[in-house]
Amino acid sequence: MTRYIGKEMSRVDGVAKVTGRAKYAAEFRAPNLAYGFIVLGTIAKGRITEIDTREAESSTGVIRVFTHLNAPKLGPKASHEQAPPRATEEQDKSFRALQSDRIYFNMQPVALVVAETYEQARYASRLVRVSYNAEKHQTDTEAVRERARVPSQGPPPKPRGNPEEAMRVAPVKVEAEYRIPIEHHNPMEPHAAVAVWEGDRLTIFDKSQEVYNVRKHLASSFNVPEANVSVTSPYVGGAFGSSLRPNYYPSLTAMAARELKRPIKVVYTRTQMFTGHGYRPYTIQRVTLGAERSGKLTAMIHDVVHNTSTTEEFTDNTTGFTRQVYACPNLRATEKITGTDLNTPTWMRAPGAVSGMFALESAMDELAYALKVDPLELRLINYAEVDPESGKPFSSKALRECYRLGAEKFGWKDRKFAPRSMRDGRLLVGWGTATGVWGAFQMPATARITLRADGTAHVASATSDIGPGTYTVITIIAAEYLGLKAEQVQFELGDTKFPRAPAQGGSWTTASVGSAVHGAALAIGARLLALANREESSPLKAAAASDVEMLDGRLRLKSDPSKFVNVADVMRRNNLTEVTETFEAKPSVERKKYATLAHGAQFVEVKVDPDLGIIRVTRAIEVTACGKIINPKASHSQEIGGVVWGIGMALQEATEIDHRFGRIMNPNLQHYHVPVNADIHEIETLFVEEEDQIVNPLGVKGMGELGMVGIPAAIANAVFHATGRRIRELPITPDKLL
């Protein structure tokens, strides 16, 4: 009875988005609204010695200027609700604005100007005069690399076998260092909040990936019960990690609103977004691989150092997936962090994985050339049939089929092995490949479904939709299992009045919230069956809940659809206008017996101008194995987006810091380069569907992060093949090639 699952569907929220009916955080209105504008500091470390707000306060329309001198102190800090796996923190040590005279990073907020209009607030922000006592700062991760320490979030994972000894005797070895600069999320929608107090009750409209986390953060900040805080975030114009944490602006906005007893709106400028949330950390990786002459890996050592802030620890688990990709008996994969006078990093699309796999998959390519073995063949020689780390079987793994299909589609058999051996006229042509991997995670999630006698349904869960199409995929799942048409289902999300759901991160939303919706739909079917079977004449008398399904307003036997009851009749006979079920889905006990991962293979062609060093990615084929595909249209869109971001990471993206001042030099979209249409050529995305009864009831695995994981490595490997130059530091810009 596949009605919707596996079929292409356009976004149910598409019309609302293109007509402007969809309301983003900054678009919510409140009576008597005032506007806040953030003033940023200009030193990297030290103290504020004086702050003169007199001219700003006497400026037209200004209501108040908040600084550390007059802003109330925010309450005790609650621990994080949910963070991606192995990245939890005991206590929320996140930066809070205007709490002291201390400066921890450049472009830190030092004042909030509130005025009757946005323009008045922005103008007056330039009249605030701040004096500092600057202290010696350090923003260069390379300079503090030797001070790196193991994060205090539990013991590091133990080595496998004896990697040092195995490396010593390995017949073939490669060793290299790889670097990734700081990179910033640049979503289309800037972060924003509108805060409204009524007595000690707060309503806030916020750009968030987890409304319950924002609620907890604000309740602890203002010492009010969580029940008194309502957080709404129905539409998010891109986030990919930049809104996983509450950031500093919701509490800043709510503080001003409470003090002034009127609604306040605060919106980041594009520049403020570079220190207003985290970033992908500056990462240094040393990878050493040892192998037999046959290509069989005997030892892998992957050591990582990346920066964090001086105020809190952050780690993105850079080496986590290194342990699970290739069959290798001896392995050490470590991660250390080192403090810099910058704001705290955060999770950014494919956190840890895309960074770690850039280094590992580049090193695998280097090993292939040291062995004179085809790079794809080397990956097949070291294919892991079971999880190398735990020894557990995979719940499903179609990576071998991804390699085969991708190579065939790409024409890999025609690749000449030697670098600089392929040309298109005067352009150098390079073909590179890499492997992608991500966890098939599931988190506890709750959903509520109300089925009405008129054949419509309302579905609710406090999840987010940062762009992957959650509104649509949950509508599909609900329509499928309630037996309704998609247009009969209304799904609402992004509000603390709805049942609790995890953050939209980690690519676990469909697996988690989708499973909750599936469970709630089945619970409604079971309830209707029990009601129908109160009657002696019920044709479903002997049926168990698992024997029936809903379709077109009927509850019917799966084995014999001619035996059915009309849902509306059953409800009418029981004086019900609607039936509501709330269901919490949790990972099954069965999952613990298996390794659960999603995989992909990437094949990339680059063409390089030998005189100018300009690189174009002319073709990319990505083949993904991530369980069942619910909505192919949105799924291809996700993977294409991942490839585009991977191209940006490989060739363009870098946050440049002038370490003399500890200041970001390119905090805007003019100078922080991301791919535009002219940079993107042919991208083909393919899926190898897996039947997986273990991961969750729907058999789905995450794909949002996976789509970009292997892309930067595949591009770097293609650049080497084209030019003979191995670039180990991203982005690969013309100056590095020349």
Residues 148 and 340 sit within 8 Å (Cβ to Cβ): no
Token readout for 193 is: 């909040």
Mapped onto helix, strand or coil, the DSSP state of residue 20 is coil
Is residue 705 flagged as an active site residue? yes
Helical (H) or strand (E) element with 252: helix 249-260
Section 60-88 average pLDDT: 74
Name the pLDDT band for 84 (thresholds 50, 70, 90): very low
Q: Give the number of other Cβ atoms within 10 Å of residue 202's Cβ.
A: 23
Name the pLDDT band for 87 (thresholds 50, 70, 90): very low
* Interior angle at CA 417, CA 414 and CA 419, nearest 5: 120
| Per-residue confidence (pLDDT) for residue 82, from 0 to 100 | 43
Section 588-607 average pLDDT: 98
| Per-residue confidence (pLDDT) for residue 2, from 0 to 100 | 56
Residues 314 and 282 sit within 8 Å (Cβ to Cβ): no
DSSP 118: H
List the one residue out of 46, 65, 47, 44 whose CA is nearest residue 56. 65
Least confident of 153-157, 470-474, 696-700: 153-157
List the one residue out of 639, 637, 641, 642 whose CA is nearest residue 626. 639
Give the 3-state secondary structure percentages of the chain, helix then strand then coil, rounded to 5: 30, 25, 45
What confidence tens digit (pLDDT) does each residue in 501-512 have?
999 999 999 999
- Beta partners for 431? 605
Write down the catalytic residue from 366, 549, 581, 705.
705
Residues 579 and 455 sit within 8 Å (Cβ to Cβ): no
Section 138-164 average pLDDT: 94
Token readout for 554 is: 């009927």
CA separation, residue 347 to residues 241, 301, 350 (Å): 5, 24, 8
List the one residue out of 287, 281, 279, 285 whose CA is nearest residue 339. 281
| Per-residue confidence (pLDDT) for residue 733, from 0 to 100 | 98
- Residue given tokens 């004042």 in the structure block: 111
